[in-house]
Amino acid sequence: MSRGKIALALVVAALVAAYFALDLGRFLTLTELKANRDALFAAYAAHRAPFILGFIAVYITATALSLPGGAILTLTGGAVFGAVTATLVVNVGATIGATLAFLLARYLFRDAVEARLGARLMAFNAGLEKGAMGYLLFLRLVPLFPFFLINLGAGLTQVRLRTYFLATMVGILPGSFVYCNAGANLARIDTLSDIASPGVLGALALLGAFALVPTVYLRLRARRAGGTPPPV
C-alpha cells in the first residue's frame, strides 16, 4: 500500500476512533432526539440555511465514515424539516456520503482485492456491469442489506461511479421518505422497529423486485439467443 493510501487510512481510522472514544453515539438515540426536538427546531427556525448545510455535512461525514446512527439522523431530519423537505435533504447527504465511502473503499482496497481474487472477481465484474443499475437499485430498495456494506462492497467492484451515484440517489428515496415521515410524527414512535412495519418492508421489497425486471429480462433474452451471460 502506498504512503498516500496509508495516510488516508490512518486519518479515517482516527476519525472513527474519535467517534467512539468521545461516545458521540450517545447523541444519536431516539430518546435524545425526542428530548431535544424542540431545541433543534428552534435552531432551524432561527438559522435555516446554515442549519440545513450543517445537517448535510454531518450526514455526509457519518455516512462516508460508515458510522452508526443513520436512522436517527434521518428521523431527526423529518422531525425538524418535515417529511418532504427532509427526504430531499437526507437524499443529498446520504448520496454524497455513500459516494465518498464507495470511493474510499475503491481507492484503499480494490487493488488488493483484485490481486487476491483475480479471475473470480473479473467474472463477477463482467456480470455486474451488464445489470449494475438494476442490482444496485434492488440492494438500495430492499431494507435487508446494511447501507454501509453496500457502499464498501460496491467500491471493490468495477461498477461505474455514475451508475452507483444514480442508483443510490434514486434507490434510497422510498426508504428515506418512510423514515422522514416517521420523524415528522415523532410522538408516535417508541422504538425504531415501529417504523418498519411488515407492510412497509413488503412494499420496499416489491419495488426492489421490480428494479431487477429489466436485468432478468436481458439475461433471459441472451440465453434464448444462444449466449451465456457471465455469472454474477
Q: What is the pLDDT of residues 145-166, one digit of tens each?
A: 789 988 988 888 888 999 999 9
The per-residue pLDDT for 105 is 92
230 within some domain: no
Mean pLDDT of the chain: 84
Q: Is the CB of residue 213 less than 8 Å from the CB of residue 108?
A: no
d(CA 130, CA 34): 45
pTM: 0.85
Q: Is the pLDDT of residue 175 over 70?
A: yes
Question: Please, where are the H alpha helices in the chain?
Answer: 3-21, 30-46, 48-64, 70-81, 83-117, 119-130, 132-141, 147-155, 161-171, 173-184, 198-224
d(CA 2, CA 49): 40
Range of the domain at 70: 3-224
* pLDDT level of residue 133 (50, 70, 90 thresholds): confident
Please state the domain count of the chain: 1
Over its C-alpha atoms, the chain yields an Rg (Å, rounded) of: 20
Average pLDDT over residues 11-32: 95
> 105: number of CA atoms within 13 Å, CB side?
25
